[in-house]
């Protein structure tokens, strides 16, 4: 089942993370431009592999396992590189990553109780907000956006944190019976 197109796309996304981090940390303009392009393509590949898997009936246990991990590593790797560059605060990025650990832990508890928890619409919006945050910060760093770039970064960060808190709270609310 690893030879399916969706699984190959997921594996490519996983393998792109170290290269993406290298490009984000690059001092060259071409490296920074390539980082924007690679991140965009990798983020879009998440939707593409899911669509193909459902359309061609190629969903697999590997895909269900690896796809969310690839997404979390892609976003986390980019965010961590941006902290290293001083583009984002470590506290803000820790809040975003902590939500991922908490919801993943919640899903593990749910699986232990025999429940499978699909991503909610708020969880998908959260993911989109994280992609937007990374793209905005990369674009502001790569292209001369002036004060508008700083404002866009602040707005994108507030949106990403808000969506992380809201979607995380929604998962815990939906699954509150697990803790009774």
H helices of 56-145, in order, are 61-84, 90-112, 121-142
Three-state DSSP class for residue 1: coil
More confident residue, 113 or 156: 156
- Distances from the Cα of 140 to the Cαs of 83, 110, 146, in angstroms? 14, 40, 8
- Inter-helix orientation angle 5-24/61-84, to 10°: 10
Surface-to-core class of residue 26, CB atoms within 10 Å of its CB (0-12 exposed, 13-18 middle, 19+ buried): middle
Which positions ≥6 away from 106 have C-beta within 8 Å?
Answer: 117, 171, 172, 175, 178
- The domain ranges of the chain are 5-179
Residue 122 CA to residue 57 CA, distance in Å, equals 25
Residue 29 — very low, low, confident or very high, per pLDDT cuts 50/70/90?
Answer: very high
CATH no., domain 5-179: 1.20.120.1760
Residue 1 — very low, low, confident or very high, per pLDDT cuts 50/70/90?
Answer: low
User: Structure pTM?
Assistant: 0.92
Is the pLDDT score of 99 beyond 90?
yes
DSSP string, 133-165: HHHHHHHHHHS--HHHHHHHHHHHHHHHHHHHH
Residue 102 CA to residue 113 CA, distance in Å, equals 17
pLDDT digits (tens, 9 = 90+) for 104-120: 999 889 888 888 788 88
């Amino acid at each position: 089942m690893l030879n399916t197109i969706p699984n190959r796309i997921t594996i490519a996304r996983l393998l792109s993370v170290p290269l993406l981090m290298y490009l984000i940390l690059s001092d060259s303009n071409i490296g920074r431009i390539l980082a924007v392009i690679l991140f965009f393509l990798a983020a879009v590949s998440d939707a593409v592999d899911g669509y193909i898997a459902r359309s061609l009936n190629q969903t697999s246990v590997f895909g269900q396992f690896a796809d969310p991990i690839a997404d979390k590593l892609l976003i986390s790797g980019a965010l961590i590189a941006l902290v290293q560059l001083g583009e984002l605060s470590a506290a803000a990025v820790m809040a975003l990553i902590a939500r991922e650990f908490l919801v993943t832990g919640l899903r593990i508890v749910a699986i232990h109780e025999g429940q499978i928890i699909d991503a909610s619409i708020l969880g998908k919006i959260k993911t989109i907000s994280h992609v937007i945050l990374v793209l905005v910060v990369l674009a502001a760093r790569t292209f001369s956006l002036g004060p508008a770039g700083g404002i866009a970064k602040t707005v994108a960060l507030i949106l990403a944190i808000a969506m992380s808190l809201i979607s995380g709270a929604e998962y815990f609310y939906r699954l509150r019976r697990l803790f009774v």
